[in-house]
Amino acid sequence: MIDFFIPACYTDIKLFPVLIGMVRTLDHELYKIGSGDRMKRPVINIGLMGVGTVGTGVARVLLTEGDLLTSRTGIRFNLKTVVDLDWGRERELKFGEVKTSTNVEDIVNDPEIDIVVETIGGYEPAFTYISQALAARKHVITANKALVATKGRELFSRAKANGVNILFEASVGGGIPVIKGLREGLVANKILGLYGIVNGTSNYILTRMHQENLEFAEALREAQIKGFAEADPSLDISGVDAAHKLAILAALASGGLVDFHSIPVEGISAVTSFDINYAKSFGYVIKLLAVCRFAQNQVDLRVHPTLVPENHLLAAVNNELNAVFITGDLVGNTMFYGPGAGQNPTASAVVSDIIDLARDLLLKNGEFFSSLTINPEKILSLLPLGEISNRYYLRLYTRDQPGIFAQIAGVLGENNISISSVVQLEAHGEKEFVPIVLLTHEARENYFNNALKEIGKFDFIRPDILRLRLF
């Protein structure tokens, strides 16, 4: 009878009413403590969807590090069911008493499962499965940045409507606890802006170009051989993957959501070793940066290769490593650095989310408690790129004729753009085109675009003009 009695304290702080009848009491198991007494310890049952690289990492930690996790939290984490389409192939990890299945209903319809971990990746069927889990009032953890970035509104609305939580620490910066840092560690701060190196593939390629003077294609091939780039690297080198992570970081920093498809994105494939070297000679390192800056009621979001001053900490983030540099009104500048991908780092982040959700499950009334919660109804307004002022790096190749630089400088001047440094090299041998590189003072993007359009019309200029922005 006591089980059906709802004490007063359970009912008075519910923000999102939950049908009490549907809330399952957590399992507990008896265990011995030192003196021989028997006590009860909560057990959290976990269902894992997708046992590829990341899913295997998560399963391995739960199956082999259970004692460590219990000693640190007082909770036993029980991997109850794993679902994957392919159980035919040989797997290194043995699942023992864990139920293995090809049917996601074995997780979604199991009333004993408290937490669902989605490590399938991609849009479908991951989105459908997560939605089913949320509808079944299960907390969800996902490492799926594409899904969180593009379907955040649906996912957060459904979680809220069902009184459960969805966590996604592994979706940005792999094993780096940057999402926890942002939503809990910096919870007292208004976030003023952040800059992320959040795509390991691009950072590896740019680092190798910088350090070894490789061309883009060579560095990409090396990244593929070393496993830092996919066979089809387009999501990474186009900047889209970084934009996914930027959308997530901006949501956490603001408590609202952005329309992913309106984020301006430029990738790194037009950057040559010539540009890397000239940037270096000016005292800069080229990095693919995800930029988020809050202004009044708008947010400036973009992803593009950026000239970072060589003495800035972000310039020292090399190879496949990631970092997010965050400025808060109280804390000032902070940075979180580490591996942005990989089986074990990702598992580290997912398990940290599992433990956080376990804490939520132990809350008095089962309601979720998250600092810096995202409100799916709040949509951020993007500051149009054209209205933003930047300093620019401009590299172009012209025929070696007299008076050309004057014409280019003239166009820039007419558009209110003033030049801060310029290098024009002499033609050697029989080269048809010679490079001009210049850095500008701050100018509005619109004006600079106008100037670029006019410069592009000159018949003495090669079409492969490169414009980069400065930090």
d(CA 163, CA 139): 9
Nearer to a second copy, 281 or 333 (CB): 333
Of 325, 321, 301, 322, which Cα lies nearest the Cα of 312?
325
Nearer to a second copy, 19 or 30 (CB): 30
Angle (nearest 5°) at CA 73 between 71 and 79: 90
Tell me the closest approach of the beta carbon of residue 13 to a second copy, in angstroms.
5
Q: What are phi and psi of 38, to 5 degrees?
A: -110, 130
Among the options 80, 151, 180, 245, which is catalytic? Answer: 245
Is 245 one of the catalytic residues?
A: yes
Q: Which two tokens stand for residue 216?
A: 């883009």
Nearer to a second copy, 84 or 360 (CB): 360
Q: Which residues pair with 322 in a beta bridge?
A: 338
d(CA 221, CA 110): 46
Nearer to a second copy, 39 or 161 (CB): 39
Nearer to a second copy, 132 or 203 (CB): 203
Nearer to a second copy, 108 or 223 (CB): 223
Tell me the closest approach of the beta carbon of residue 317 to a second copy, in angstroms.
7
**How far is CA 204 from its chain centroid?**
16
Eight-class DSSP state of 383? P
d(CA 163, CA 366): 8
Nearer to a second copy, 37 or 232 (CB): 37
Identity of the residue numbered 422? V
Q: Which two tokens stand for residue 163?
A: 């009184």
Tell me the closest approach of the beta carbon of residue 403 to a second copy, in angstroms.
43
Which residue in this structure is represented by tokens 């494939």? 269
Of 202, 341, 338, 180, which Cα lies nearest the Cα of 269?
202
d(CA 136, CA 60): 26
Tell me the closest approach of the beta carbon of residue 44 to a second copy, in angstroms.
12
Q: Cα dihedral angle (112, 116, 117, 121), rounded to 10 degrees?
A: 140
Q: Which two tokens stand for residue 433?
A: 């085109």
For residue 253, give the 3-state DSSP assignment: helix
Tell me the closest approach of the beta carbon of residue 318 to a second copy, in angstroms.
8
Of 305, 314, 259, 310, which Cα lies nearest the Cα of 280?
310
Tell me the closest approach of the beta carbon of residue 400 to a second copy, in angstroms.
39
d(CA 237, CA 206): 10
Tell me the closest approach of the beta carbon of residue 312 to a second copy, in angstroms.
8
216-225 helix and 200-212 helix, angle to the nearest 10 degrees: 120
Q: Which residues are catalytic?
A: 245
